[in-house]
Amino acid sequence: MAPLVEMAPLVTMVPLAVDLATARSLLYYGAIYGVVLAVAVWIYRDARDRGIGYPAVWAVATLVLTIVPVLAYLYVRGRRSPDGATDRGKGEA
């Protein structure tokens, strides 16, 4: 019987080396994207509650394009109440 020969592995594992600047950048961009994600969820729920068309499209556009869809949504949203009626005449006699 032939002796067993140990072979070197084809892939060597190298530990992930992350320096402080890289970790700081990851935290920074993670925080920014977390805020964008929270705004996208808010826009989706608000558009759905107010009956504004295509709430999922508004949310995805916010995730991809960030600030431009937010400003457009706030313009389209106007001062509608969650029941779909406008609040423009509220408080007048």
Among residues of the chain, what percentage have pLDDT more than 70?
76
Helices and strands per DSSP (H, E), number in the chain = 3, 0
Cβ(62)–Cβ(40) below 8 Å = yes
How many whole angstroms separate alpha carbon 19 and alpha carbon 85? 54
Do you know the residue count of the chain? 93
pLDDT tens across 18-49, in order? 788 888 999 999 999 999 999 999 999 999 99
Q: Is the pTM of this model over 0.85?
A: no
Residue 86: predicted pLDDT: 62
- In the chain, where are the structural domains located? 36-83
Residue 58: predicted pLDDT: 96
